Amino acid sequence: MNQRVTTFLEGDLLERYLMGTTSPIESQEVEHYIAKYPEVKETYNELQKNLEDYASSYAVAAPEELKTSIMKSIKAKPKKERIFPWIAVVACGVAVIFSFVTYLFWDQNQALMEDRYVYNELLEQLSDDIVSNRESLQSVEEQFMILNSTETQKYIMRGNTRARKLEMVAYVNELEKKSYVNVVALPELPDDQVYQMWAEVDGKLRPLDILKMSKDNLVEIPYRERMASLNITIEPKGGSKETTEESVVSKVSF
């Protein structure tokens, strides 16, 4: 016989298993031995038979009326089963209510998440606006500072016979090397023509900007060193790189 089987059978695990006093782990061990070793299975079967014989030797006639009572008891059991569906129904009801409440919370949460997204977007926009406004304010403050400077010269420009209604104010600060124009009135031109500004430098007209009526009253224009005069001409759409004195409709000399 296998040494392990001999050792196992010499112990009391099998007897305790028979009496149902083994722990779950011990029971697993015993069941493993019973399944694997035929001699253990045989011994276990003998023990069971002995138990039955030994217990039967103490047999006492059981009262017949007890049998009737037991049969009544087990017949009464199905009544309990009838109660079970009600418990199940209540449980289902509770589950449905719970699911509904959970859905409500989920839905509310989704709405709040959407609101949060919208508010975040709004906040971002406002933040951008603040930055943009700050920049604008800084630019206006800068312009204001330059216009108020004692170094800034103010020149009024009016159109000649070819542009009678043209009126413009030019500001030039030689120290800061900045120049601005404020277009007060600009007569309308055909679609294929524009007003262009020129700076006279060293006797030549150098192109500056195309003039437009702007909602911003004050528009910065490029500054040229040694600028002797500011000129406005009428040019073909898109502007020109060169012009002649004949095209000038307004001029102011410094």
**Which residues form the interface with other proteins (CB under 8 A)?**
12, 15-16, 18-21, 31, 45-63, 66-67, 69-71, 73-75, 77
Strands 248-253 and 178-185: unpaired
CB atoms closer than 10 angstroms to residue 229: 15
Which among 163, 187, 155 has a CA at the least distance from the CA of 250? 163
Hey, is 60 helix, strand or coil?
coil
Residue 164 in contact with residue 178, Cβ under 8 Å?
Answer: no
Of 70 and 104, which has the nearer Cβ to other proteins? 70
Of 9 and 166, which has the nearer Cβ to other proteins? 9
Of 71 and 95, which has the nearer Cβ to other proteins? 71
Q: What single letter denotes the amino acid at residue 85?
A: P
Of 76 and 87, which has the nearer Cβ to other proteins? 76
Q: What single letter denotes the amino acid at residue 232?
A: I
Nearest-approach distance from CB 43 to other proteins, in angstroms: 10
Residue 230 in contact with residue 206, Cβ under 8 Å?
Answer: no
Of 73 and 148, which has the nearer Cβ to other proteins? 73
**In 61-177, beta strands by DSSP E:** 152-158, 167-173
Q: How far apart are CA 47 and CA 58, in angstroms?
A: 17
Q: How far apart are CA 75 and CA 78, in angstroms?
A: 7
CB atoms closer than 10 angstroms to residue 44: 19
Of 63 and 238, which has the nearer Cβ to other proteins? 63
Nearest-approach distance from CB 100 to other proteins, in angstroms: 36
Residue 236 in contact with residue 198, Cβ under 8 Å?
Answer: no
Nearest-approach distance from CB 111 to other proteins, in angstroms: 50
Which among 148, 240, 161, 154 has a CA at the least distance from the CA of 194? 240
Cα three-residue angle 120-122-123, rounded to 5 degrees:
65
Nearest-approach distance from CB 94 to other proteins, in angstroms: 27
Nearest-approach distance from CB 86 to other proteins, in angstroms: 20
Nearest-approach distance from CB 67 to other proteins, in angstroms: 5
Of 21 and 108, which has the nearer Cβ to other proteins? 21
Nearest-approach distance from CB 33 to other proteins, in angstroms: 13
